[in-house]
Copies of this chain bind each other. A is one copy, B any other.
Amino acid sequence: MNTPAQLVAVLGPSGPRVLRQDEAIAYADDLGLTRGDGCFDATLVFAADAATGTPEGARRVLHLDRHLARLARSAAGLTIDSPPAHEWSALVEEALAHPQAPAGESMLKLVLTRGREERPGGVFGYLTVTPLPASTIAARTEGIDVATMSRGMASDAFADAPWLLGGIKTIAYAVNMAANREAVRRGATDALFVSSDGYALEGPTSALITRTGAELTTTPTGATGVLDSITIETLFAAAQADGFTVTHRLMRSQEVPHAEGAWLASSVRGVAPIRRLDGRELPLDQVLTARLGRLAGFPG
């Protein structure tokens, strides 16, 4: 194997188990596999030798507590009983201390499904630690090329309709993945969803930020179905302390290219500047982008 391997660890009835070799872990009737009936969350694991000074064996995870809290909210929205946060934390700790854990900057993904349909045994939870591709890290400085496309729903479609699972990070992301493929088909790297009434929403795995002067704006959650972004929550709190005004409001998709800057933010890739939107160049400000990334807690 030339590629650095992904580490897998499973929440089992007898405690955390880090897989020693590549093996199958999910059954044919797991509702996560057959129905996308589950949720996930993902965040960054800092490199062992990073400028943060994190030593090997004590790897730092970006906002693990907040991601565990959001995973629990997603599970509750699906009426899946999540294992308690301390079990997930123990699993993360055991995985990151494992000698086979990737040493570089990595993605920690926590996956929770409703479990097996045909056999009792409760929910199924596991994590993966996967080295970040160089392209993901490069996007933080080089920027991304974004294509807008319809999400098929109005900006208030999720109000009073909890079965539509707005704001819940389910593993049923087939449309999100198809939107990314459509973006690539159009010569871009990322998709940005637009509501049927013309508002910019979010990316398939990211949230939108625009800047006008000292004001940073993002899309509201709630009726829009947009996921609450931990990156933006962190960034906005720090940015306010740093002199920015921060706003949650609906933006028409035509507004975005007229902003003085726009970014797609996510917990793994960080705050990636949009350098092109539907083929139109956007202003890039490397100093400001680096500042926003640091405010959100990402490695410079």
Seen from chain A, the residues whose Cβ lies within 8 Å of a Cβ on chain B are: 3, 5-6, 8, 19, 22-38, 40, 78-79, 109, 111, 113, 118-119, 126, 128, 130, 149-154, 157-158, 161-165, 170-179, 181-182, 191, 196, 225
Contact = CB atoms under 8 A, between A and B. Distances in A.
Contacts of A177: 31, 35, 37
Contact of A170 (B6, B27, B149, B174): B174
B35 A109 contact: no
Given A172-B174, A181-B163, A182-B162, A33 B30 contact: yes
19 contacts: A5-B118, A8-B29, A24-B25, A25-B26, A33-B113, A35-B171, A36-B173, A149-B161, A152-B153, A152-B157, A152-B158, A152-B161, A152-B225, A154-B196, A163-B175, A165-B178, A170-B174, A171-B172, A172-B174
A280 B200 CA distance: 40
B196 A157 contact: yes
Nearest to A154: B196
A111 B157 CA distance: 30
Q: Which 7 A-B pairs have the closest CB atoms?
A: A36-B36, A172-B172, A172-B174, A152-B157, A26-B26, A36-B172, A24-B24
Contacts of A26: 24-28, 30, 33
A165 B176 CA distance: 10
B28 A126 contact: yes
B174 A35 contact: yes
A182 B163 contact: yes
B150 A161 contact: yes
B6 A111 contact: no
B28 A128 contact: yes
B176 A35 contact: yes
A28 B40 contact: no
A200 to B, nearest CB: 16
A164 B151 CA distance: 7
A22 B126 CA distance: 19
Nearest to A168: B174
Contacts of A170: 36, 172, 174
A286 to B, nearest CB: 31
